[in-house]
Amino acid sequence: MPIPTIPPHRATLTPPQDPLGHALHHLRLQSALCCRSELTAPWSIDMPIMPDTLMVHVVTQGSCWLQLQNQPPIQLHPGHVALVAHGKGHQISSAPNLHPTPLFSLPITRISDRYELLQHGGPGPQTTAICAVAHLGHPIAQKLTASLPPHICVNTTDPHTNPHFENTLALLTHEAQALRPGGETIISRLTDILVIQILRAWIEDEGATHSQWLKALQDPQVGKALALIHQNPQTTWTVETLARTVATSRSGFAARFRAVVGQPPMQYLTDWRMAVARDMLKTSTRSLLEVAEACGYASEAAFSRAFRRHVGTPPGAFRTQAGQHQTATH
């Protein structure tokens, strides 16, 4: 059955009191894969480019160096967590300037669908680390990660760091030291939590001042309007109805939205609907009409025209290409 659009005057739409918290609620991880690495010096691994992913490195024993292109090397010790954003290629090694071995050429022992064991290196001191690769599946999460710096490093032993951070890492380290029955599941879940803690810490410390989108979410009126758009892309929004719902004038709201977000409300609405449509076409089997109506379009034809104009390809072809890409990368 087609999903009906909801006219604003009939919908019971209440703006959330904490739009930023609402955005964080959607930080769900997809296709997270963890690897316990037992590495003995000398060793160096070239981590490949993995588009649309976040990569996390947690040292539980010994130390290692993290090197991103055009960035100074960073030494990681137990208690350090490093997140590499945007799927950027990088190297991890026992010492700087070692010749790296490509990751995919190293033998891996698969423990489960989401957990692997890597053993590599020479006769020297051992480093044990947990490495994870995760996709963030919700369009809100994708908008958040687009605003991240190339990497984020957190020292959980710093007294100014949230103690819950260190507790998560301590439990992760404990489970990694001796893999017991069910341990790979616990490690995978803890890694999910750790990624979200890293992102939340960055938002609280830096992101909310450096990212225009995150600053917009904290604006008293604009943030609530953004959350309404995010929650209800199927609603036939106008500038007037958005302004009325957040209790401000049309002209004042339009000017404020453009100044804070950097684009007019209706352009943002279209961009958001297209982001939701792309996600649905990639991850669901819903018909084009169902996707169209879930994104606020009255007909499949109207949706297809808008999608092709915005994305550059028809929605059916986009879904086929996305499926081919996923098959090729698995």
Cα 58 from Cα 60, distance rounded (Å): 6
Where b means 16+ CB within 10 Å and e means fewer, 275-313 reads bbbbbbbeeeeeebebbbbbbbbeebeebbebbeeeeee
Identical fold, 28-210 and 219-328: no
Instruction: Give the homologous superfamily in CATH for domain 28-210.
Output: Regulatory protein AraC (2.60.120.280)
Residue whose tokens read 């609620």: 25
User: Which numeric CATH code is attached to 219-328?
Assistant: 1.10.10.60
User: Which parts of 113-187 are beta strand (E)?
Assistant: 115-121, 126-136, 151-155
Task: Quote helix, strand, coil % in the chain, to nearest 5.
Answer: 45, 20, 35
Mean pLDDT, 10 residues at a time, the chain of 330 residues: 41 61 65 85 95 88 94 92 90 95 94 86 95 80 81 85 81 76 78 81 71 86 92 94 94 96 96 94 93 96 96 94 62
Please report the DSSP string for 264-314 in residue order.
Answer: -HHHHHHHHHHHHHHHHHHH----HHHHHHHTT-SSHHHHHHHHHHHHSS-
- What pLDDT is recorded for position 22? 67
> Could you tell me the end-to-end alpha-carbon distance of the chain, in angstroms, rounded to an integer?
33
- What pLDDT is recorded for position 196? 80
Nearest to 192 by CA among 87, 68, 85, 54: 54
Residue whose tokens read 């703006």: 15
Domain boundaries in the chain? 28-210, 219-328
Residue whose tokens read 């109506």: 293
Residues sharing a CB contact under 8 Å with residue 189, sequence separation 6 or more, in sequence order: none
